[in-house]
Structure 1
Amino acid sequence: MQKSSSTSPAPSITVNVGDKPTEILMSFGRLNELAELVGGMERLPEIDFNPNTSAATLEICLAPRDERGRRTDAEWFIPTDLSVPDAEAVLDFVKEHLSDFFLRRLEKHLDGLQTNGARLTAVGSSLSGLAGSASKTP
């Protein structure tokens, strides 16, 4: 299987919330939370076109967190001084990371299938051969 030739996205992005620079690091915990929100590669456009998904994405990335990564403000909302270009930069940053993550996982999954192809074929053949000998239930 051919590996993708693109490089991984930048690990962090800095955007301004008002006049305060805010760095967002794409940790595995944050990436996992975003992957759970989106669900899969085919739903990435929801980050752009579903307002609830956009807001939840911004919340995951910008809400204050403690040292263990837990959100510290249950009533957090999108800051009114977050500019449209900065919000869009965060959404684009997230889509790049999720695309990279989903594609890498798919590549590794397909590599595993290819590596184990002969074994999978043998198992399939064995199961096919058993179909005629299966007991019939009334």
Structure 2
Amino acid sequence: MAKDPNITIKQDDVERELFMSFGLLNELSILIGDPGQIAAVPVNPEMRRSILLACLAQRKKSGKVEKPVADFDDLDISISDVEAILAWTMDHLMDFFVRSLKKVVQVTETHKTDLASLASSLAGSPASASKTA
């Protein structure tokens, strides 16, 4: 199921729509590193801060940052909106990682015969002592 690429929050008493562009998703996936880290997002202060800075920066539709967050400690945003951003981000990241891993499995399955023959070729012949004069 496709995830909603938009989320509406209230920041500085103004409604603001965030968009999950490729640029933002790519930046977030670099920050997270691997799918096993997604569950740590709400409880890891540094990770949470990095994700919020990435999501709350003013961006072009492509995801390129036009204006970074000026002062993280002066954000006027509710806790419920922060939690919503983190959940939205985690959902998109998990969906991206799962889709990517499924594609890896499909490609591996498609090429398993080739991979098996390569593995046997790479194994080579059993080691033998070399003759010296």
TM-score by length of 1: 0.84
In the alignment, is the contact (CA less than 8 A) between 1:31 and 1:98 conserved in 2? yes
How far, CA to CA, are the matches of 2:88 and 2:7 in structure 1? 7
Summarize deviations over 1:32-88 as a string: whole Å, max 9, x none.
Answer: 000000001000022111011111111100122357612424744254320000000
In the alignment, is the contact (CA less than 8 A) between 1:63 and 1:76 conserved in 2? no
Identity of aligned residues (%): 33
Confirm whether residue 114 of structure 1 aligns to residue 109 of structure 2. Answer: yes
Kindly report the root-mean-square deviation, in angstroms, between the aligned alpha carbons of the 2 structures.
2.1
Q: CA deviation at 1:96?
A: 0.4
Which has the larger strand fraction?
Answer: 2
Amino acid at match of 2:29: A
Match of 1:100 in 2: 95
User: Aligned pairs, how many?
Assistant: 129
Match of 1:89 in 2: 84
In the alignment, is the contact (CA less than 8 A) between 2:53 and 2:68 conserved in 1? no
Tell me which of the two structures has the higher relative contact order, counting C-alpha pairs closer than 8 angstroms and 6 or more residues apart: 1
Match of 1:34 in 2: 28
Q: CA deviation at 1:15?
A: 0.7
Unaligned runs of 5+ in 2: none
Structure with the greater alpha carbon radius of gyration: 2
Match of 1:124 in 2: 119
SS in 2 for 1:49: coil
Q: CA deviation at 1:132?
A: 1.9
Q: CA deviation at 1:19?
A: 2.0
SS in 2 for 1:23: strand
Unaligned runs of 5+ in 1: 1-6
Summarize deviations over 1:76-112 as a string: whole Å, max 9, x none.
Answer: 4254320000000000000000000000000000100
How far, CA to CA, are the matches of 1:96 and 1:135 in structure 2? 57
Confirm whether residue 77 of structure 1 aligns to residue 72 of structure 2. Answer: yes
In the alignment, is the contact (CA less than 8 A) between 1:59 and 1:76 conserved in 2? no
Moved over 6 A (4+): none
How far, CA to CA, are the matches of 2:97 and 2:33 in structure 1? 10
Summarize deviations over 1:3-56 as a string: whole Å, max 9, x none.
Answer: xxxx02101111111421111100000000000000010000221110111111
